[in-house]
Amino acid sequence: MIPRLFVVDDLEPGRRVALDGDRTHYIKNVMRRSLGDEVGLFNGRDGEWLGRVHSLGRNTAEIALDMQRRPQAASPDLWLAFAPVKRARTDFIAEKATELGVSLLWPVMTRRAEPARVNVERLTNIAIEAAEQTERLDVPVVRNALQLEKMLQEWPRERTLFVCAEAGAALPIADAVLAHRGRPAGFLIGPEGGFAASELDALRKLPFVVAVGLGPRLLRAETAAVVALACWQALAGDGAGADSRPPFRNEFVS
Amino acid sequence: MIPRLFVVDDLEPGRRVALDGDRTHYIKNVMRRSLGDEVGLFNGRDGEWLGRVHSLGRNTAEIALDMQRRPQAASPDLWLAFAPVKRARTDFIAEKATELGVSLLWPVMTRRAEPARVNVERLTNIAIEAAEQTERLDVPVVRNALQLEKMLQEWPRERTLFVCAEAGAALPIADAVLAHRGRPAGFLIGPEGGFAASELDALRKLPFVVAVGLGPRLLRAETAAVVALACWQALAGDGAGADSRPPFRNEFVS
């Protein structure tokens, strides 16, 4: 397995890319790579590049780029807005949403959201690590937290907002996703304890909102996020095509 | 919110059910309930019952049953076989699979599975807690771990085994689930590092196996489990019906 790292540098033939301390530690001590070993790099713009460890110091390393391995490809246009929950579970939402291909993560303060400050940098770092692991070519943007009312004012009118509503009328998720296929989409996941009734009422009145149900069991907030994103990708996203498979895997099968 | 507890006792009118130390602690110190307060009980056979706290001691409490609140309903016939990963992530699989309504959890030792002993009692307790939380009326059975070959010998021939295969030919999950709808089903999730090529080859030769793909990103084992189960429930399980909503929720909405 070739270790993959996200960097901010431009990627082009012959270039040498310096790694920061964390990534140097990862290459050297976690993955136990030495001079000349292969490393993959991506920056969200130039595709995935193969390079080799050119120098390996205590706190820094240089990767000399060889060639592009994959061209840049856009992730599906899928957003996730979510009410912060307890920290470990919020971290989990950021990690899993990145694995599931969202392009934007948006913390939203609802009535019952955990009031703790949302650390955008922390969530971004979690998203970067998950993107490295999951073989994406980009990293989702993490927005600053907004109050629900503000977030709804800023929500693009042409983007369907699927609200995962545990109470009241709602379409089954599969029906809702199929009915709105082919359009930019996003999900809104409430906090533990759910939306307040007045919040759900206000949401339902908006023309771009579609209330969806995730089945008869009450799901934790972070489970609801994964379920919703998984169903969207499988039915309307990049999991729906017959050729939709992780890269470079077939070489491992006889 | 009425606290819900799983008990092994029969549930019937007029009966008093004694709670163990952990559940007494939960009722008294976590949920801060007192004498006369309402508690819900279920045992996987007799539906959900409402009762009231009849006595509340240091290490034990009694619930006096009033009436059945919901009749027993079967969970969908969905199994999950999974290769153990690191402990926290194995715990996570048990929790989330229970939220997603599986009836059976089956740890399976594959070539690259974490070799640590699987603690069936620990996983059962996690499943019970998740079932209490998620408002199920039953708790999934946790089987003893088996080697993959043994497990495949014991797998019922009429039950579709969807193998989440990151390498080689596979149907997109939505297509596979829809094509096999209406039959008993189960998923097999490999370990971190995936199945060995020989394991995948052997699996693909079995008539009840259907290889499924979960899209173009490489998912962690526990993410793959949630994605697979979520898609099945949404397309072939109890998330597919228009009336498929959590119980007792509409009263909260104006």
Question: Which of A70, A91, A111 is where one domain is finished?
Answer: A70
The verdict on A37 and A88 lying in the same domain is no
Total domain count, chain A: 2
Choosing among B201, B227, B251, which should be mutated to test the A contact, i.e. which has the most A CBs within 10 A?
B227
Q: Residues B84, B109: contact at Cβ < 8 Å?
A: yes
What ipTM did this prediction achieve? Answer: 0.93
Q: How confident is the model at residue B253 (pLDDT cuts 50, 70, 90)?
A: very low
Nearest by CB: A250 against B167, B237, B239: B167
The verdict on A84 and A210 lying in the same domain is yes
Tokens of B73: 């309903």
Average confidence score pLDDT of chain B? 93
A252 within a domain of the structure (yes/no): no
Cα B145 to Cα A235, B81, B115, B116, B117, distances in angstroms: 33, 9, 11, 11, 9
* pLDDT, average across residues B58-86: 94
Q: Residues A145, A84: contact at Cβ < 8 Å?
A: yes
**What pLDDT, on a 0 to 100 scale, did the predictor assign at position B247?**
79
How many angstroms separate the CA of residue A97 from the nearest CA in chain B? 10
* pLDDT, average across residues B148-163: 97
Q: How many CB atoms lie within 10 A of CB B79?
A: 22
Q: Residues A113, A191: contact at Cβ < 8 Å?
A: yes
Average confidence score pLDDT of chain A? 93
Q: Is B150 helix (H, G, I), strand (E, B) or coil?
A: helix
Tokens of A101: 């291909």
The verdict on A125 and A168 lying in the same domain is yes
A241 within a domain of the structure (yes/no): no
**What pLDDT, on a 0 to 100 scale, did the predictor assign at position A250?**
56
Q: What is the CATH number of the domain that holds B113?
A: 3.40.1280.10
Q: Where are the beta strands (DSSP E) in chain B?
A: 4-6, 16-19, 38-42, 48-56, 61-70, 78-82, 104-109, 141-142, 146-147, 160-164, 171-172, 185-189, 209-213
* pLDDT, average across residues B119-145: 95
| Chain A residues whose beta carbon lies within 8 Å of the beta carbon of residue B96 | 223, 226
Q: How confident is the model at residue A246 (pLDDT cuts 50, 70, 90)?
A: confident
Cα–Cα dist A231/A185, whole Å:
13
Q: Residues B144, B124: contact at Cβ < 8 Å?
A: no
Cα–Cα dist A56/A37, whole Å:
11
The verdict on A59 and A100 lying in the same domain is no
Chain A: residue whose CA lies nearest to B93 = A223
Q: Residues B225, B94: contact at Cβ < 8 Å?
A: no
Nearest by CB: B234 against A96, A99, A173: A173
The verdict on A62 and A132 lying in the same domain is no
Domain with A219, as residue range(s), is 78-235
Choosing among A98, A217, A219, A244, which should be mutated to test the B contact, i.e. which has the most B CBs within 10 A?
A217
Indicate yes or no: CB of B240 within 8 angstroms of CB of A198.
no
The verdict on B169 and B213 lying in the same domain is yes
* pLDDT, average across residues A60-83: 94
Q: Is A163 helix (H, G, I), strand (E, B) or coil?
A: strand
A246 within a domain of the structure (yes/no): no
Q: Residues A65, A41: contact at Cβ < 8 Å?
A: yes
A106 within a domain of the structure (yes/no): yes
* pLDDT, average across residues A224-239: 96
The verdict on B108 and B221 lying in the same domain is yes
A248 within a domain of the structure (yes/no): no
The verdict on A52 and A160 lying in the same domain is no
Tell which residue, B150, B135, B149, B158, has the closest CA to residue B77. B158
Tell which residue, A79, A18, A22, A87, has the closest CA to residue A51. A18
* pLDDT, average across residues B32-40: 96
Q: What is the CATH number of the domain that holds B48?
A: 2.40.240.20
B242 within a domain of the structure (yes/no): no
| Chain A residues whose beta carbon lies within 8 Å of the beta carbon of residue B217 | 99-101, 134-136, 246
The more confident residue out of A178 and A242 is: A178
The verdict on B193 and B140 lying in the same domain is yes
The verdict on B43 and B146 lying in the same domain is no
| Chain B residues whose beta carbon lies within 8 Å of the beta carbon of residue A238 | 215-216
Q: Radius of gyration (Cα) for chain B, nearest Å? A: 20
